[in-house]
Amino acid sequence: MASHRKSRPVGTRVAGIRTPAIATAALTSVALLSQSANAAPADDKPSLEEVEKKVDDLYRQAESATDNYNAAKEKTTKQRKQVDTLLQDVAQRTQKLNEAREELGSFAAAQYRTGAAAPDTATFLLADTPQDYFDQTQLMGRLTSRQKGAVDDYVSEQSVTMKKRQEASQSLQTLTETQSDLKTAKATVQKKLADARDLLSELTAQEKARLAAIEKQKQQEAARKAAELAQQQAAAEKAAQEATTPQQSTPTAPDSSYATKAAKALAFARAQIGKPYVWGATGPDSYDCSGLTQAAWKAAGVDLPRVTYDQVNAGTTVSLADAQPGDLVFFYDDISHVGLYIGNGMMIHAPKPGAYVREESIYYDGESAIHSVVRPA
């Protein structure tokens, strides 16, 4: 006989209690949502350390682009002077050619008046050169030696003038290209700095405080490393003095002429402390890093190139252990920063946008950031 018992609803047990199908579906949905929440990626906002690194990288990239800007600016200035000189020369030569053409025209007119020939003035003006004209009209044989000399001078001057015009045209083209490079470098610097400002502007007050604490910790570590270097250099100097006889000189000590020049460079640099870093600036109210070192050594009578990757080749490379006051300390693989060593592991430099010329440990960005030390004179 068929059973009249109803089939059991499909369900599950939760803590020993059978749950209906609808409740089971609800629980399943909750479980799935919980899993989804757990599996969802965490807030992808970068950590404070990542922000700091990104900002530092952007400032470094901006400094590198600043060097490109400085180089293009210097090149533009030189090329503009060259173009101006060439154009002035061409203008003067053109004036002389016009005067000579008038004189040659008077020669032709004189021949016409004597009946020796009937030259056409239009033919003279349209001829490729006066020589061609006089050859065509068979007047050269009838000209006096003074007149022939005038023709020869005209032909020679015309050739030189044409060459100068070509040089001026090429220089103008080069100047246009360099000005384009200058514009590109300027835009790159501005973009990097804007990106850095945007990153910093997104930080909360608490995050900015934490960032300042991280920076302070880095400065303390840099100061510790600078003190270690100062001790090492002092020990090395003492050992050298003890091993030196009166007839010998200390190998690591700079000569008196260098020390005198370095003292002047350092005195100038110290007088700039507190002035703002401005990219592309060479003083007197603001500086970028290479602008400061260039100005400092110029005050000592030594001309340094404008940009860091040229300054690094403007002297003798020495080891960090042998660094002396006045030496240039370069940073990073791309040589995008430079400071003026003052001794005891410290330097004077124009650090970055938003900062001011200051004394700071050469380890301000870690020992690995130091590229080389150069003695410029």
- In 3D, which of 191, 181, 207 has the Cα closest to residue 58? 191
Which amino acid is located at 152 in the chain? D
pLDDT along the chain (377 residues), means of 10: 44 39 41 44 69 88 92 89 84 78 65 51 51 54 59 73 82 87 92 91 86 85 88 84 60 72 97 95 96 98 96 96 96 96 96 93 94 94
Residue 218 confidence (pLDDT):
84
| Cβ-based burial of 65 (10 A; exposed 0-12, middle 13-18, buried ≥19) | buried
**In angstroms, rounded to a whole number, what is the distance separating the alpha carbons of residues 71 and 77?**
10
Q: What is the pTM of this model?
A: 0.67
Is residue 349 part of the annotated active site? The answer reads yes
227/57 Cα distance (integer angstroms): 27
The reported pLDDT for the residue numbered 137 is 53
- For the chain, how are helix, strand and coil distributed in percent, rounded to 5? 60, 10, 30
Residue 10: left (phi > 0), alpha (psi -120 to 50), or beta? Answer: beta
Confirm whether 289 is a catalytic residue: yes
Q: 10 Å Cβ neighbour count for 205?
A: 7
Among the listed residues 192, 261, 337, 371, the single catalytic one is 337
What DSSP character marks residue 142?
A: G
**Per-residue pLDDT at 159:** 76
Confirm if 73 and 280 have CB atoms less than 8 A apart: yes
Nearest partner of 327 among 368, 370, 369, 358, judged by Cα: 370
Residue 29: both structure tokens together: 């949905």
Phi/psi for 87 (5° steps) reads -65, -40
Sign of the Cα pseudo-torsion (273, 277, 278, 282, in order): positive
CA within 13 Å, CB half, 73: 16
Q: In which element (H, E) is residue 349 found?
A: strand 346-349
Residue 141: active-site member: no
φ, ψ for residue 207 (rounded to 5)? -65, -40
CA triplet 172, 176, 177: central angle to 5 degrees?
Answer: 120
Token representation of residue 284: 């007197």
- Given 289, 292, 348, 377, the catalytic residue: 289
CA distance 136 to 122: 13
Write the pLDDT tens digit of every residue in 266-287: 999 999 999 999 999 999 999 9
pLDDT of residue 113: 57
* pLDDT, position 344: 93
* Beta carbons of 240 and 323 less than 8 angstroms apart: no
Angle at 346 between CA 335 and CA 337, to 5 degrees: 15
Residue 41 is given by DSSP the state: P
Candidate list 73, 164, 349, 352, residue with the active-site label: 349
Task: Give the neighbor-by-neighbor strand order of the sheet with 328-331.
Answer: 316-318, 370-375, 328-331, 337-343, 346-349, 358-361
Q: Nearest 5 degrees, angle CA 355-CA 183-CA 308?
A: 50
pLDDT at site 13: 38
In contact, 324 and 307? CB cutoff 8 Å: no
Is residue 35 exposed (0-12), middle (13-18) or buried (19+ Cβ within 10 Å)?
exposed
Determine the Cα–Cα distance for residues 161 and 86; give it in Å rounded to an integer.
Answer: 10
Task: Give yes or no for a contact between 357 and 275, defined as CB atoms under 8 angstroms apart.
Answer: yes
What pLDDT is stored for residue 253 in this prediction? 53
Sequence length of the chain is 377
Distance between CA 180 and CA 201 in Å, rounded? 31
Q: Rounded to an integer, what distance in angstroms lies between the CA atom of residue 324 and that of residue 188?
A: 35
